[in-house]
Structure 1
């Protein structure tokens, strides 16, 4: 782990140190808020310049136009400035003009551009185009049985798009029955693979992506189980307790002595501390398991994830969401919102402070340096989210 991260130079939480960032109620100080706002404005200008040379045919939320539209939609929600909504609209049009017609997910397929567009058009009072996007989103449901189940390219990535629309509309635009069908398909797929590969005694569910049993949030078990434990998505109490819970417990048993998790089952290398692979993604499964089942061990494991992130989460890969410092910081915010422990808000603020020195730590430049999930747009999203920590949620993933 240590070779993938830069040493954490920050002193850990102390009440006296925290006063420069937030008050006793967790409200950010005017000074720190101003620093965040200034950096957001500065990075936005840099990002816009950089996007002039971005791939014009990348529609996706992960590295393309839909991700930039999602950032501006978020900035509109945070600041209430209609200019941000207009910019989101421009990027929505770009993303809809180059849909892949291959993948069905929010992050790497057509569901993301369509879902973001539906919400942007809705907020612009353009209901006809909004409804058209929702209709097209629902038509993606004719799922190929060979589609994987994970978040980036599979059924869970489609499910997120459906829930995203309902959350932003504040009503059931996507029928719950439609969402339940996706959940049922994921559970059936996991049960089938567990039986075929003789996992049933250890884990009633099992999932693979490219012949590997991935563990993390992006491609693996932790991301899938995080959604299967969500209330209101249609997994029955019987399935939840008899099928999902023992499968979650199996993931818990994969924990390294360090508190981190492997990228794949049977991978003994304790290297990756990313949202996509490792503790920063598994933490969401553990937090949700604690909320649903109430067992202290889930919380203990989540707290251990936070220690791993604090020690090894300032990544040499950069400041982004998928495998960068901003993405890792969201784990602290998830724990802060669960426990109200100011230590985790402080740690998120310190990781944000690291991001305020964007580009000054010798980190490598991502392949798509201005995108939402690999680059600068994701860091801006995080800094804006931190302005109201109690509402912060990892984009395109956390519910």
Structure 2
């Protein structure tokens, strides 16, 4: 199966701002909040994922209007549309960033500073942390819940009465993850990557409760030890073990492989000063792998596409990867059969909204992060 195409073109660059505006305009005109059906899927592929994009851009790019309206207007439009979604009750196997009810609460807190909503978000933890079978990872599990708690913490005033409650809840959830048997598993498989695996769990723990970095340093060292000779990381460990990783070197994307590990390392490196030389070497080697194998054939997106891979690069290499995510480049590659189309074309992790985030990062020279993962 062909997963990427050759990176054999001369280095090139396009101006990010026009592509950012065009990308946002396509979302609004082709998937407008007044016509589009509200879809579940949390930050991954639902209507709330588009709302969250506009919420974050209202902070990072407050002076940019789209279709004559500020980012905050479009956030409110998509957020209101999302409220008709019939979300399931959070449960141990579905409490991460894909959970619409928890995300809706967190977004409401972030946009209104509502302390009662913050209490409601925290109260969900009692059921989740008491279940021994609770999923640990970011997409469906406790690590994703940590991201939502962190969003609430960063949004509430520092002197808010509920702030200590949110902080203590985050610590309880992080402690639960730290106490879990190693390796962390999802559906009985020991993943390593950002979406379902060890580096994603480590990243959410450290960014949410930095003082716990020492408690997961050994876990991070284990991840670094597993980098392959070509700079990639295996997607998972066979049979929950820590050896025999041959045959697992297929994916080079944010969810699995070097891009997700590198994006994570860039944001947590400062909390592990003793490991900094090792981390810097790992980043360099991983970027070489991405440069060689990172132009993926799937429609550019954050999860498993060029946009997400670009966030692991810097300078001219990042600029070069972004040229393959323009509307013209995508159309050309899809017409020639090189690229496939997304089944979630406007979503944050699988489509246009994620491409818009990457353009925003490039335009504002922001920290190379994945929205919904390590952008806060």
> Higher mean Cα deviation, 217-226 or 366-375?
366-375
**Is the CA contact (8 Å cut-off) linking 2:170 and 2:209 kept in structure 1?**
no
Note if 1:389 corresponds to 2:365.
yes
Partner SS, residue 282 of structure 1: helix
Note if 1:134 corresponds to 2:114.
no
Structure 2: how far apart are the matches of 1:166 and 1:91? 23
Q: In structure 2, do the counterparts of structure 1 residues 307 and 70 end up closer, same or farther at CA, with 3 Å as the change threshold?
A: same
**Is the CA contact (8 Å cut-off) linking 1:317 and 1:324 kept in structure 2?**
yes
> Per-residue deviation at 1:50?
10
**Is the CA contact (8 Å cut-off) linking 2:210 and 2:271 kept in structure 1?**
no
Q: Greater relative contact order (Cα 8 A, min sep 6): structure 1 or 2? A: 2
Question: How large is the Cα RMSD of the aligned pairs?
Answer: 2.5
Q: In structure 2, do the counterparts of structure 1 residues 47 and 153 end up closer, same or farther at CA, with 3 Å as the change threshold?
A: same
> Per-residue deviation at 1:169?
3.7
Structure 2: how far apart are the matches of 1:188 and 1:321? 31
> Per-residue deviation at 1:117?
2.4
Note the alpha carbon deviations across 1:31-74, whole angstroms, 9 max, x for none: x24433453355334542699565x3415221111101011113
Of 44, 54, 66, which aligns to 2:48?
66
Partner SS, residue 161 of structure 1: helix
**Is the CA contact (8 Å cut-off) linking 2:263 and 2:369 kept in structure 1?**
no
Structure 2: how far apart are the matches of 1:83 and 1:290? 35
1:1-399 pair list within 5 angstroms: 3-11=2-10, 32-45=15-28, 47-48=30-31, 52=35, 54=37, 56-58=38-40, 60-77=42-59, 78-80=61-63, 81=65, 83-98=70-85, 99-102=87-90, 103-120=94-111, 122=112, 130-144=114-128, 145=131, 146-169=133-156, 171=158, 174-175=163-164, 176-189=167-180, 193-194=181-182, 206-230=183-207, 232-235=209-212, 240-241=213-214, 243-266=215-238, 267-269=245-247, 270-288=249-267, 290-294=269-273, 295-332=276-313, 344-356=314-326, 357-362=329-334, 363-398=339-374, 399=376
Structure 1: how far apart are the matches of 2:185 and 2:209? 25
Note the alpha carbon deviations across 1:7-30, whole angstroms, 9 max, x for none: 113435xxxx7xx66xxxxxxxxx
Note the alpha carbon deviations across 1:93-120, whole angstroms, 9 max, x for none: 2323322214322234422222122223
> Per-residue deviation at 1:284?
3.3
> Per-residue deviation at 1:134?
2.2
Partner SS, residue 79 of structure 1: coil
With normalisation by structure 2, the TM-score equals 0.83
**Is the CA contact (8 Å cut-off) linking 1:183 and 1:233 kept in structure 2?**
no
- Which residues of structure 1 form unaligned runs of 5+? 22-31, 195-205, 333-343
Partner SS, residue 156 of structure 1: helix
> Per-residue deviation at 1:163?
0.7
With normalisation by structure 1, the TM-score equals 0.78
Partner SS, residue 371 of structure 2: coil
**Is the CA contact (8 Å cut-off) linking 1:372 and 1:378 kept in structure 2?**
yes
**Is the CA contact (8 Å cut-off) linking 1:162 and 1:179 kept in structure 2?**
yes
Partner SS, residue 236 of structure 2: coil
Q: In structure 2, do the counterparts of structure 1 residues 97 and 140 end up closer, same or farther at CA, with 3 Å as the change threshold?
A: farther
> Per-residue deviation at 1:186?
0.7
> Per-residue deviation at 1:274?
0.9
Partner of 2:242: none
**Is the CA contact (8 Å cut-off) linking 1:215 and 1:277 kept in structure 2?**
yes
* Structure 1 stretches of at least 4 aligned residues deviating more than 6 Å after TM superposition: none
> Per-residue deviation at 1:268?
2.3
**Is the CA contact (8 Å cut-off) linking 2:96 and 2:137 kept in structure 1?**
no
Partner SS, residue 71 of structure 2: helix
Structure 1: how far apart are the matches of 2:367 and 2:223? 28
- Which residues of structure 2 form unaligned runs of 5+? 239-244
